[in-house]
Amino acid sequence: MGGGVIRKQSQRLADQMMNTSKRLIVVFAILCLMGAFAQGQHNPDGRKVSLDCVTCHVTWHDNIDPQKSLLPKMDAPIQIQGMPARIATAAMCFTCHDGTVKDSRQTFASSNHQMDMDVKHANIKDLPLDKNGKIYCGTCHTPHSLKPTRNGGLAPFLRMEKMNSAICLDCHSNQAKSHKNHPIKVKVSPDNTMAENTFWGKDGTMECMTCHPIHGTESVVGVTGNDRSELCSSCHEAYFNIKLTDHDLTSSLMNKSSDIGPDFGGHDPCAACHVSHGGQAEHMWAMEIDPKAGENGYCIGCHSDNGLGQEKTFSHAGHPVSKIKLRKNIPALGIKAGDKLLCKSCHDPHQWEFSNKHAVNVSNEEGTEYTSFLRLPDDAQGQLCVACHAGQSSMFNSDHSVAREGFQQLFRESNTLNGQCTVCHGAHTDALDGSTEDDPYTVLCMRCHDGQHFATSVVHNNHPIGVPFESKSNLHGYNKDSQTLLSCNTCHDPHKWGQTVEKSQTVDLKGDDRNSFLTISNWPEPKLCLDCHPEQGTILNSDHDLTEEDRSACSLCHAPHNAETEYGILAKWGDAPGASFNEKHCFSCHSEQGSASAKLVEGYSHPREFGILTPPARGTGDWLDFPLFTEAGPSMTVGHIDCFTCHNPHSWSYKTKFQELGSENEEGNDLTSFLRNPSQLTLCTDCHGESTLWKYNYYHDPVKRKRY
């Protein structure tokens, strides 16, 4: 029994122990399970995360025993928008990017965007910084971005797009403002010589990373010092024609200094005028400019009295700028309709000579019409000027072409070489000398037409100049004392020869009323003459209208230059008979050999021994009422009777209604016959009394007029 009890007790004890052990085991198992469950990982929000997460988010390991922890003690290693965040540090990134998983050691070694870099010069917006407010890997990168291979993926695991520079601009927006910084998002010429591995944006646009390697030892691609020449020339090769010109300040001002800002101490010809970022003005301009000067300020900044280019100061006397808006596109000069005419319209500051034909090897060379940073040369075709002033190009086939021997002779004599336009016009100086009292147009024309040089001489008996005039077409002249005075340019436009009779470019042309650089055509009607002398238009269709195929009604009798007489600029009459200028002039036609042989003037001479007072001298009227002459020409005081005393060759009748002739030549009478006045208005009665009418009517009949 006892044994049985003991067994039972033992059994019970054993059973109790067993029950206790089972309980313990169950409890232990539960604890183990709980412990095992508790060994999972949770993020700060309590959400269970996978093992992948703690690959980087090391602090998300649950239940880290502080006594055993090997984690570096870092409180809130990262800030996101200023708020602390316990996410991976750069040290974490390096544990994989040390070459064992990926090799980003070059990035870690780079001086660009290196860790611990201050961001004080950048205006960071959304990107996270480390605990000290400095950039670290995670500032730009996150492993949570889409894989680069996926649609919308941001290689290499960037927080923002790099193809459009978005990630750069988040911090550096101030370095992308247009004009003062090098532009981005612009198409680049496929002819660029950038390295093959150059970063381009979508559609080949230039972006920040095109020039700036994000991770590297250079802040700018291929630039280790201050000389950006090689990089700039990769896309702007044409601008490097500037080298060794006066605008290459590293060459032309090598030994000079300036306090206006440009850096011309190095070897980068760009740096003197341009900075890539933070320019003082548009065009990434390195120097301060006068904002009032507008676009020309870039030039005037140097080409002023105190500027670097003071040897070539800008003058307002030359071609006007700024105030002119161009009305059409001028592709040859890169000008669009509506653009203002500026310095740069004619000048390309990067190129000493058009097409760079003229290799410059020494700076400070005096410019010519072919150089001088002109976009086009002012050559014999006046390319530069004609680009805008196309209407003046007809001059090239005229005697005013510099290709003609006359100009060539001038160039030889003066040892100069002018272009088609600058031979007369100064781009930056006033071609017309306004410093003297003389008519500047005449001064300019007489440089060649002075009788001593190669051009047609116009020094004798010319149409009067320097006199006021009234013109129906408002012809030009020169202004003096608020008056417009007649000058060469009143009748002549030196750019337009007119209708040519000769197309040759080498043979000097003989001018007539159809050409001769006349401002208004003088043929077949003498419109130019009549523009100022409309009262003489009555000659038209009269017997004195001797218009021919190359001559107007005026030109038979009048020569505006080198005339026989100063008064009336009467044309030369050769060997015509007559005692006076007037008689010779009239008898050149009204003679047996003349064209008006049907109207010979048999008797005409009035005794000249009697001096007759002119109407003005008498105080009875105008000189033209009864013009008198001396041997020297018209007299305002005392003279004798001559052809034009009685006849006005421009008007068939002094009465308007008889001025027009019929188709057939009419026989004249005392109302017509080109008589100036009716007999009663002449002064003849003063001497001839009642016989006046007889003598007047038969003045040219030597027999009849002697009856009284």
Partner 1 sequence: MRFKKLLIVVLATSFGLVQSLIAQEVSFSLVRTLEADFNFPTDLCGNDRGDVFVLDGMNDRVVQLKTSGEVVEIRPQRESIYKAVGIAWINGDLWIADTPRSRLLKMEMNGRISQIVKLDHQTEPVDVADMGDNMVVTDRLNHTITVLDKDFKEKYYWGKRGEKVGEFINPGFLASGPENRILIGDILNRRVVSFSPSGRYPQIIAKPGVEKGQIFRPKGIALDSQKRIWVADGYTGALQAFSISGKYLGIATSEGKSLALSAPMGVFIDKQDRLWVVESFASKVSVWRIK
Phi, psi of 106 (to 5 degrees): -65, -35
User: Shortest approach of partner 1 to residue 271 CB, angstroms?
Assistant: 32
Residues 373-392 that bind partner 1 (CB under 8 A): none
- Interface with partner 1 (CB under 8 A), residue total 29
The residue from 1, 36, 83, 101 that contacts partner 1 (CB under 8 A) is: 101
Structure tokens at 235: 């896309």
**Where do we find the tokens 């039972």?**
8
User: Shortest approach of partner 1 to residue 334 CB, angstroms?
Assistant: 47
CB 308 within 8 A of CB 302: yes
User: Shortest approach of partner 1 to residue 89 CB, angstroms?
Assistant: 10
User: Shortest approach of partner 1 to residue 260 CB, angstroms?
Assistant: 43
Residues 14-43 that bind partner 1 (CB under 8 A): 18, 21, 25, 28
Residue among 28 and 708 whose Cβ is closer to partner 1: 28
Residue among 9 and 95 whose Cβ is closer to partner 1: 95
Return d(Cα 570, Cα 563) in angstroms, integer: 6
Return d(Cα 209, Cα 199) in angstroms, integer: 6
User: Shortest approach of partner 1 to residue 24 CB, angstroms?
Assistant: 9
**Where do we find the tokens 């203002």?**
340
Q: What mask, x for binding partner 1 by CB under 8 A, covers residues 656 to 675?
A: --------------------
Q: Measure the CA angle with vertex 162, ends 158 and 168; round to 5°.
A: 95
Strands (E) across 188-254 are located at: 205-206
Three-state DSSP at 479 gives strand
User: Shortest approach of partner 1 to residue 379 CB, angstroms?
Assistant: 57
The residue from 33, 74, 80, 91 that contacts partner 1 (CB under 8 A) is: 91
| Residue 109 binds partner 1 (CB under 8 A) | yes
Contact region with partner 1 (CB under 8 A), list: 89-97, 153-161, 445-453, 553-561:
89-97
Termini Cα distance of the chain? 209
Residue among 18 and 467 whose Cβ is closer to partner 1: 18
| Residue 72 binds partner 1 (CB under 8 A) | yes
Residue among 70 and 598 whose Cβ is closer to partner 1: 70
Residues 486-525 that bind partner 1 (CB under 8 A): none
Residue among 92 and 341 whose Cβ is closer to partner 1: 92
CB 454 within 8 A of CB 410: yes
Residue among 95 and 416 whose Cβ is closer to partner 1: 95
Strand partners, 85: 78
| Residue 177 binds partner 1 (CB under 8 A) | no
CB 563 within 8 A of CB 572: yes
Return d(Cα 232, Cα 221) in angstroms, integer: 10
Contact region with partner 1 (CB under 8 A), list: 95-103, 160-168, 441-449, 591-599:
95-103
**Where do we find the tokens 């646009």?**
205
User: Shortest approach of partner 1 to residue 238 CB, angstroms?
Assistant: 37
Residue among 88 and 209 whose Cβ is closer to partner 1: 88
Return d(Cα 701, Cα 708) in angstroms, integer: 12
User: Shortest approach of partner 1 to residue 113 CB, angstroms?
Assistant: 17
Residue among 7 and 105 whose Cβ is closer to partner 1: 105
Residue among 31 and 632 whose Cβ is closer to partner 1: 31
Return d(Cα 140, Cα 209) in angstroms, integer: 14
CB 136 within 8 A of CB 142: no
Contacts of 608 (CB under 8 A, 6+ apart): 640
| Residue 96 binds partner 1 (CB under 8 A) | yes
Residue among 108 and 200 whose Cβ is closer to partner 1: 108
Residue among 32 and 459 whose Cβ is closer to partner 1: 32
Q: What mask, x for binding partner 1 by CB under 8 A, covers residues 456 to 475?
A: --------------------
Q: What mask, x for binding partner 1 by CB under 8 A, covers residues 120 to 159?
A: ----------------------------------------
Three-state DSSP at 14 gives helix
The residue from 1, 45, 68, 362 that contacts partner 1 (CB under 8 A) is: 68
| Residue 178 binds partner 1 (CB under 8 A) | no
Residue among 29 and 501 whose Cβ is closer to partner 1: 29
Residue among 98 and 230 whose Cβ is closer to partner 1: 98
Return d(Cα 233, Cα 237) in angstroms, integer: 4
Q: Measure the CA angle with vertex 659, ends 655 and 662; round to 5°.
A: 140
Residue among 55 and 677 whose Cβ is closer to partner 1: 55
The residue from 69, 111, 605, 620 that contacts partner 1 (CB under 8 A) is: 69
10 Å Cβ neighbour count for 448?
21
CB-neighbour burial class of residue 38 (10 A; exposed 0-12, middle 13-18, buried 19+): exposed
Q: How far is CA 106 from the centre of its chain?
A: 50
Among 123, 154, 120, 155, residue whose Cα is nearest residue 134: 120
DSSP 8-state symbol, 307: S
User: Shortest approach of partner 1 to residue 118 CB, angstroms?
Assistant: 20
Phi, psi of 245 (to 5 degrees): -85, 175
Residues 48-67 that bind partner 1 (CB under 8 A): 51, 55, 58, 61, 64-65
- Overall size of the chain counted in residues: 708
Q: SS3 letters for 432-462?
A: CCCCCCCCHHHHHHCCCCCCCCCCCCCCCCC
User: Shortest approach of partner 1 to residue 70 CB, angstroms?
Assistant: 4
Would strands 48-49 and 83-85 be described as parallel, antiparallel, or unpaired? unpaired
Would strands 483-485 and 478-480 be described as parallel, antiparallel, or unpaired? antiparallel
| Site residues (vs partner 1, CB under 8 A) | 18, 21, 25, 28, 51, 55, 58, 61, 64-65, 68-72, 91-92, 94-96, 98-101, 103, 105-106, 108-109
